[in-house]
Structure 1
């Protein structure tokens, strides 16, 4: 049987100088990196020139972005099932082509309605599609070393957040915002599309290869791999625990970052120091993502949930009750820790608890909740500042929700293995 699998290996896999799992890890990381044209960090650079030319208000564009985000992410459960059935190679190829077309469509937007449709296409293909399949392919190839591998792949988004915004700004200055979107479409077509079509592959067992890039398990205790269907996973407490921390981190984190300079001003921090806080936050996020990923190879993801929620609770409480530069530094450490730990838990947790067989369908549902959190999270903060003149009510409420979620992790049990 192994010989038959070897004969069916594509030349790219047979001729790889290293275990093909490392190639998959690089490809999944690149896929995460290329989601940036549809991520908030990428779209935000276009906001000013786009709203000026289309003569729509920034508030209207923000509402269109939120509505487009929700419309784009709604098909995520169906996309996840489709990835399970068709495999990551075909799925990623079609999604990459769709993302390139979405960027090309944005270059011809002429009205507010077209803008809303464009946002839905961008968010749906990048977040509901490419992000999902890029994480999926890494989880298919890594099992016992999944924590650190999935965490490393998820850092593609962090790298993209540092590289794409200044690059997009430069493109806009040379070619205008429409030309910049066309350039992004060409970039995706020239790089991501061939990577998806040529490099992405289904699970290693189909090619007679071992999981985890040939590395031994991180621990001597190796558990049987589970195989939950989506309905079975949705009936477990662990699924809703992982989904809850994803929702809360996206909701509260988006609100904190969207209102960052205003919140820092309320804590007595000037703009220059507030910019430095963002840099510290990003650095901490990278370090904690990798650290948490390594821990997941030794400990259950649910055991690390209290740490992630404590970080986010502190990030919410510090600007509500404290002021000064020390508070801002602690805030940066806690927010980076919250995002980093949740990123690693979400990247590897679902596959560890529910297996690889129906992972796309399961992650599709969780993504729907996570992205919805990013869309709705800023609303309580906007209401708090408008009705009370400060963010204190929203911050304290966020802190309480995080603590409740952290305590819930002590009640939720590991689901029994389903085969």
Structure 2
């Protein structure tokens, strides 16, 4: 009788839902990953437009390549510098609120550009508003979702979420280039604003901040993890984590390699490939389509990189990625021509596979070195990525104005990639990973 009473009392005590009771049910973490993927696709539209804007704005307003490149550089710099604070804000206010506000800022900044008449307005709308909004849901967003919802398959998930940006590029680049050629750049800017707004209700209704919100364990976790209390002092925490990480050697090596990554992708190819190809007589739509093809292979390359990161040394993977990227950039000036030929297609496929393959191993090294602070540390590393992109976006435009061609920019970026490969190899493994203690 006593045992029956005790059993009834135990049954009356509320227990956290146990996902193990439904072993064949798809874990909610994968649905959250899908929502995150679609959200990043919607926000990725803005990243497709800068390279397409340079020639139309130069022709309509007479602004120099350097002036337009400066606005793009502000966008890229704020994109990166906002990321670590966004990760801390997500800890304070939740992922849904931060991402919804960020998407609204992107829509506002992109929509207002249709009325601009002066360079400072381009700086304010496209540089500041879109830069801040995009930075608030940059790769730190993907890192936060991955760290909270997954214990297993983190490398694979981070690769998939990183590939979402390339998928967005694949979707929007051909459409935006066609709009600009057929009508003007203004309908393209409005399209980006509408795409960002369309994702807001999707985020608000379907995204959840933490597995505990729905009574689940993170995917692959053995124990239920309670939702932590909202962290106060988001900015202070971001700066505190930076101060702590900056006293370690791996942080500067990761930041340096990722700065070169940004310089050779967002700052160089994404911003200047279309005008550089157009300089050689290639139609803008053809050049934009080549960038879209980069997006196709970027998806496969990034997901494969996540899979490899779960199995091999992340440092060596980074070294291989940067070395191959540097070699390909050294050959690019010889490949640009009025029409698309097999050698150019090979470059595009090769570069696409390598485009952001560096992200999963970089995330993994941040987790290995900095543990629970890894999302914020990765935000600061991402800031260096975007600062490198911003510098090359501006200096590439200046070099085009001064030399009349982009050749020196390609050669310099290829050399930097070789330096990044060497930097990746000298990162030391974290003792807990290199020599795990016996349990």
Shorter-chain TM band: 0.7 to 0.9
Contact preservation (8 Å) 1:36, 1:42: no
Distance 1:261 1:171 in 2: 15
Pairing 1:139-178 to 2, within 5 Å after superposition:
139-168=147-176
Consecutive unaligned residues in structure 2, runs of 5 or more: 1-9, 223-239, 434-439
Match status 1:203 vs 2:210:
yes
Q: Are the counterparts in 2 of residues 128 and 364 from structure 1 also a CA contact under 8 Å? A: no
Instruction: Give the drift of 1:50.
Output: 5.7
Residue 183 of structure 1, CA deviation: 5.2
Q: Distance in 2 between matches of 1:175 and 1:388?
A: 31
Alpha carbons 2:32, 2:207 under 8 Å: kept: yes
What is the count of residue pairs matched by the alignment?
A: 395
Q: Which of 355, 370, 379 is residue 339 of structure 1 equivalent to? A: 355
Please point out which of 251, 261, 266 is paired with 2:263: 251
In 2, distance between residues paired with 1:399 and 1:188?
34
* Offset from partner CA, 1:219-262 (integer Å, 9 cap, x none): xxxxxxxxx94433333333333322321122123324544367
The Cα of 1:376 is off from its aligned counterpart by: 1.1
Q: Find the aligned partners of 1:349 and 1:363 in 2 and give their Cα distance.
A: 9
In the TM superposition, 1:114-153 aligns within 5 A as 114-119=121-126, 120-153=128-161
Match of 1:364 among 379, 397, 400: 379
For residues 77-104 of structure 1, give each alpha carbon's deviation from its aligned partner in whole angstroms, at most 9, with x where no partner exists.
3333222322312222222333333334
5+ residue gaps, structure 1:
216-227
User: Quick check: 1:5–1:207 contact (8 Å CA) kept in 2?
Assistant: no
Paired position in structure 2 for 1:238: 250
Is the Cα contact below 8 Å between 2:79 and 2:134 reproduced in 1? no
Alignment of 1:256-405 (within 5 A): 256-260=269-273, 278=291, 281-319=294-332, 328-346=344-362, 348-355=364-371, 357-378=372-393, 381=396, 393-405=408-420
Residue deviations 1:144-179, cap 9 Å, x none? Answer: 311111111122111211222344467679997556
CA contact (8 A) 2:169 2:295 kept: no
Establish whether residue 31 from structure 1 lines up as the match of residue 39 from structure 2: yes
Q: Contact conserved, 2:73 with 2:393, CA < 8 A, in 1?
A: no
SS of 2:355's partner is helix
Deviation at residue 28 of structure 1 after TM alignment: 1.2
Which range is displaced more, 345-354 or 245-254?
A: 345-354
CA 63–386 in structure 1, closer or farther in 2 if over 3 Å, else same: closer
Asked whether the equivalents of residues 76 and 367 of structure 1 are also in contact (C-alpha less than 8 Å), the reply is yes
Q: Give the superposition deviation at 1:334.
A: 3.8
Rg larger in structure: 2
| 1:85 aligns with one of 88, 92, 115 | 92
- Rounded Cα–Cα distance in structure 2 between residues aligned with 1:113 and 1:393: 29
Within 2, Cα distance between the matches of 1:314 and 1:182? 38
Mark the CA change 1:398 to 1:167 in structure 2 (over 3 Å): closer, same or farther: closer
Deviates more, 1:384-393 or 1:240-249: 384-393
Contact 1:92/1:130 (CA < 8 Å) preserved in 2?
Answer: no
Q: Is 1:193 equivalent to 2:206 in the alignment?
A: no
Q: Residue 225 of structure 1 corresponds to which residue in structure 2?
A: none
Deviations 1:364-408 (A, max 9, x none): 312221111111124555566677776555444433332232223
> What SS does the aligned partner of 2:429 have?
coil
The alpha-carbon distance between structure 1 residues 277 and 201, as it changes in their structure 2 partners (threshold 3 A), is closer
Structure-2 change in CA distance of 1:76 and 1:383 (3 Å):
same
Preserved contact between residue 238 and residue 415 of structure 1 (Cα < 8 Å): no
Cα contact 2:166–2:299 (8 A) shared by 1: yes
Alignment partners' CA distance in 2, 1:384 and 1:330 = 26
Corresponding position of 2:237? none
- Equivalent-residue separation in structure 1 for 2:179 and 2:419 (angstroms): 45
Aligned pair partner of 1:5 in 16, 19, 22: 16
Measure how far apart 1:294 and its partner are.
0.3
Deviation of 1:302 (Å): 1.9
Specify whether residues 165 and 362 from structure 1 end up closer, same or farther in structure 2 by C-alpha distance, changes over 3 A only.
same
Alignment correspondent of 1:67: 74
| CA distance in structure 2 between the partners assigned to 1:381 and 1:98 by the alignment | 27
TM-score for both structures, normalised by structure 1? 0.77
Query: Is 2:430 the partner of 1:415?
Result: yes
Q: TM-score, normalised by structure 2?
A: 0.74
